[in-house]
Amino acid sequence: MNIRSRFFSEANTDNFAKSGALRFRARTAIPGGAHTYAKGDDQYPLLSPGFISRGLGCHVWDLDGNEFIEYGMGLRAVSLGHGFPAVVKAAVEQLSQGTNFTRPSPIEVECAERLIELVPGAEMAKFTKDGSTATTAAIRLARAYTGRDMIALCSDHTFFSYDDWAICTTPMNAGIPRAAARLTQGFRYNDLSSAAELFTRYPGRLAALILEAEKEVPPTMGYLAGLRELCHRNGALLIMDEMITGFRWPACSAQSHHQIEADLSTFGKAMGNGIAISALLGRREIMELGGLDHDRDRVFLLSTTHGAETHALAAALAVMNTYRDEPVIETLHRQGSRLRTGVESATHRHGLTRYFKLAGRTSNLVYACCDRDGVPSQVFRTLFLQETIRRGVLAPSLVTSYSHTNDDIDRTIEAIDSALAVYRKALEDGPEAHLIGRPVAPVFRRRATSTLIKASRTKIRRSSGVKAS
């Protein structure tokens, strides 16, 4: 059977017996069955790959040997492609020489200097392992620099950190003291008056405002500059979270693209092409509070055992070299544009423009699934995921990588076109006639809906051929 036949063989992609068996072991050993909520069982249909065994480029293989073209790309962390040779080579070579020493490694200086060159206004950098740690460090630094305790985050951007100051604004706020939650406020994107109102309501209290420079909706003319001016006029700092925009937007930075300089900014994800590394960057007078060359109270700033592991820094340098030497950003946008054009054509052909919608920059496409009333629907999202998975495409988003070829994009368009035909039928006779099992659920919800989970376990066993215990 050739590769094209395997992608569109329903018998092959419906076989998830090994994944089905391992899911229950995972839930016994790991809360939720995964170490990242976005990768959990409740985010995917019952008929889906429960575990990915390996990847190459934009293709992945699950535990049962099913092959998929992938568009989640490690939650946007893999922009070059899985197992990208230059990154693997750099990381492995460094690993063979040791990865963690008693004193700093020279590569820490080299990598910091290279990254600073890419970020407008940045004068110093410090490395860590994940985005949450970096953004929390930015918040602590802003509080120390300004002497204030409150912060404000953009309410239209759903995730900044797993720490209390950010998660307190979501329905999953169990375990967070109310006193801590009162120190975080929200403002709306592209609405300067929303942020200005906070400064009026809490005069002299706000240390910083944090937001993503751009998400699904681009900033309106003058918004980012206006927000920066508003912060500085009121004695606060502007923090830009570039975990997603970094190394996906033109010039590797949304700040560069939109010609704005934040006081502090955070990068990660694609910077290591999936290898754990993130960074906090900012103006020297702020960042040096975590160092030795000042006479103010010191800030405990990102002092972690594994923050500057040399193999991760080597990987980051290899990523930056690849971006410098090859047309990565241009390819992400070109392939994303090809995908958008094909999907929108299929959407029009099936009469689904009101129900299936694409959004975001072409290098970072997302989609929304709506019901017959045009309301966003988890049920229809689940059906779309089920039908694309059935056709060899794993697409929680439609995020392209440097490894997505024209053939990969065209196969994906064909699979989505076929999935949308089922979507059209589901609008007419109801999704229940086509969906196997329960719908997916929002990550940020207060309850785990255990009854659905129990029902799902039985259906997974039946669908995958695993006997119930």
Q: What is the 3-state secondary structure (H, E, C) of 383-425?
A: HHHHHHHHCCEECCCECCCCCCCHHHHHHHHHHHHHHHHHHHH
Domain ranges in the chain are 3-83+327-464, 100-308
The strands making up 59-62's β-sheet, listed across from edge to edge, are 52-56, 59-62, 67-70, 393-394
Q: Which residue has the tokens 């889906």?
A: 48
What is the reported pLDDT for 13? 41
**Nearest CA to 143 among 151, 135, 131?**
151
Other CB atoms closer than 10 Å to residue 446's CB: what's the count?
Answer: 10
State the DSSP code for 128: E
In this structure, which CATH number among 1.10.260.40, 3.40.50.880, 3.40.50.620, 3.90.1150.10 belongs to the domain 3-83+327-464?
3.90.1150.10
Long-range contacts of 245-250 (CB under 8 A, 24+ apart): 245/212, 245/213, 245/214, 245/364, 246/270, 246/271, 247/79, 247/271, 247/319, 247/323, 248/76, 248/79, 248/329, 248/332, 248/361, 248/363, 248/364, 249/213, 249/214, 249/329, 249/361, 249/363, 250/329
Strand 150-154 relative to strand 206-211, pairing = parallel
Which three-class secondary structure state does DSSP give residue 169? coil
List, for the chain, all residue ranges whose pLDDT scores fall below the cut of 50: 1-13, 450-453, 455-456, 458-469
Model-level pTM greater than 0.85? Answer: yes
**What b/e string do you get for 40-55 counting C-beta neighbours within 10 Å, with b at 16 or more?**
bbbbbbbbbbbbbeeb
Chain segment 385-444, per-residue pLDDT in tens: 999 999 999 999 999 999 999 999 999 999 999 999 999 999 999 999 999 988 877 776
pLDDT value at residue 464: 43
- The answer to whether the 3-83+327-464 and 100-308 domains have the same CATH topology is no
Could you tell me if 329 and 323 are in contact, meaning their C-beta atoms sit under 8 angstroms apart? Answer: yes
- In angstroms, the Cα distances linking 204 to 107, 264, 278 are 41, 20, 31
Q: How far apart are CA 338 and CA 263, in angstroms?
A: 36
Fold classified for 100-308: Aspartate Aminotransferase; domain 2 (3.40.640)
Whether the CB-CB separation of 141 and 286 falls below 8 Å is answered with yes
**How many CA atoms within 13 Å lie on the side-chain side of 53?**
11
For residue 215, give Cα distances in angstroms to 86, 107, 156, 439: 29, 32, 9, 25
Of 404, 258, 395, 271, the residue nearest 333 (C-alpha): 404
Cα 436 to the chain's mean position, in Å?
A: 27
Q: Which residues pair with 57 in a beta bridge?
A: 82
- Angle at which helix 192-201 crosses helix 223-233, to 10 degrees, equals 10
Q: Which residue matches tokens 């059906």?
A: 383
Chain-centre distance of CA 372, in angstroms?
Answer: 29
Count Cβ atoms below 10 Å from residue 123 Cβ, excluding itself: 14
Gap between the Cα atoms of 469 and 71, Å rounded: 35
- In this structure, the strands spanning 124-128 and 278-282 are antiparallel
How many whole angstroms separate alpha carbon 33 and alpha carbon 42?
10
Rounded Cα gap, residues 359 and 250, in angstroms: 18
Q: Within a 10 A sphere around the Cβ of 106, how many other Cβ atoms?
A: 9
The candidate with the shortest Cα–Cα distance to 12, out of 23, 25, 3, 22, is 3
| CA atoms of 66 and 15, how far apart (whole Å) | 8
Both tokens assigned to 163: 């720490």
Cα separations (Å) of 110 from 104, 318, 398?
A: 12, 12, 34
* Torsion from C-alpha of 433, 436, 438, 442, nearest 10 degrees: -100
